[in-house]
Amino acid sequence: MLKVAIGQSKMVIRPVSAIMHILVYVGFIIINIEMLEILIDGIFGTHRLFAFFGNIYNILISVFEFLAIGVILACIVFLIRRNIIRLKRFWNREMTLWPRTDANIILITEILLMSAILLMNAADTLLQSHAAAHYVNVGNFPVSSVIKPVLADLSVSNLIFIERFCWWFHIVGVLAFLNYIPYSKHFHVFLAFPNVYYSKLKPKGELYNMPSITREVKLLLSENNETAAEEEAAEEGTFGAKDVRDLTWKNLMDAYTCTECGRCTSSCPASITGKKLSPRKIIMDTRDRLEIVGKNINRKGKELDDGQSLFNYITHEELWACTTCNACTQDCPVNIDHVSIIIDLRRYLVMEEASAPGELNSIFTNIENNGAPWQFSPEDRLLWTKN
């Protein structure tokens, strides 16, 4: 978790976007230390409460301001990449109007919040130079000082209005943004840490054995009749997954942790070669279905069956296009396991609905009859040695 979620080790694979994302990530977190100060000032009527730190305070304010301008510049570049350059991974078919709008809302909000901080500081420094009441002469403001000439001709009352308007705008903006986060892709700000913490530590390509199949194998191999009877009496569940209720809690947390960055899809060989599969779409579809199931449960109870399933969102063609190479899970910056969802949906198709491509059905038949995927009887396996 320290390496991937906090250290963002997977982001650096693409250095340009990584540098900007880390700048926004670090800037937004550290700048909120200043928010703590202005909140306390607002509650107790003080001004620049932490100024007693002296030179340390000046250094902190300088760092905050440089980070704020860095966040603004990075967000502008992100907006250009999404809306003007239109990088392909931001315009896949699953990136409909709302996902694109959601990303733009977040970026514009961050620009406005950082701009409010700088404009507030610029007005503050001018009020300090005018020796206005309440505005004591503290702090070093290297970036906002550049904005001062724009405000220099304003009266003290207008400067106070601008300073307090920006103060309120920043506070209300941050609190509103916190309420908006659970409804947006920015939810990964909170879920990235637990999601990475609980991510799979075994080799990515290793499949887990279904408990029901394991029980059947143990039953066949068991020499203890009592154990066999207990295993036989064990309740059989559904093979694979048909809907979100059949997925694990980690699969569902994966769905809500998705940042919609599209790195998974841009590295997927099936997607690159023009197949219908997009790993990001699988995760977004899972989340959309989960939201609908949750709303149905809230309205009419958890036993409600609306006649829908994940297969109303994800087609068979998408599922069978996956090569299970795990390129998507490798590139995901928050360790989402796309392949496990795909495998469970495939298991349901094969074991519950007997619905699989013809090539696979031939393999299954050969394994059942010959103990191998090929159309040769076990007696003929070594014939090649005689040639």
* Cα three-residue angle 39-45-51, rounded to 5 degrees: 70
Give the burial string for 36-64 (b: 16+ CB within 10 Å, else e).
ebbbebeeeeebbbbbeeeeebbebbebb
Topology, domain 211-370: Fumarate Reductase Iron-sulfur Protein; Chain B, domain 2 (1.10.1060)
Write out the two tokens for 168.
């309120």
Domain boundaries, the chain: 2-183, 211-370
Q: In a 10 Å sphere around its CB, with 0-12 CB exposed, 13-18 middle and 19+ buried, how is residue 155 labelled? A: exposed
What length does the chain have? Answer: 387
Could you identify the residue written with the tokens 């991974």? 89
Q: Are 222 and 153 in contact (CB under 8 A)?
A: no
Q: What letter does residue 247 receive in the DSSP assignment?
A: S
Distance CA 378, CA 387 (A): 18
Distance CA 284, CA 337 (A): 13
Please report, in tens digits, the pLDDT of each residue of the chain (387 residues total): 999 998 889 998 888 888 898 888 888 778 777 788 888 888 888 888 888 888 888 888 888 899 999 999 999 999 999 999 999 999 999 999 999 999 999 999 999 999 999 999 999 888 888 877 777 777 678 899 899 899 989 999 999 999 999 999 999 998 999 899 999 999 998 999 999 999 999 998 888 888 878 887 888 887 555 555 555 544 556 789 999 999 999 999 999 999 999 999 999 999 999 999 999 999 999 999 999 999 999 988 888 788 899 999 999 999 999 999 999 999 999 999 999 999 999 999 998 998 888 888 889 889 888 888 888 888 887 887 886
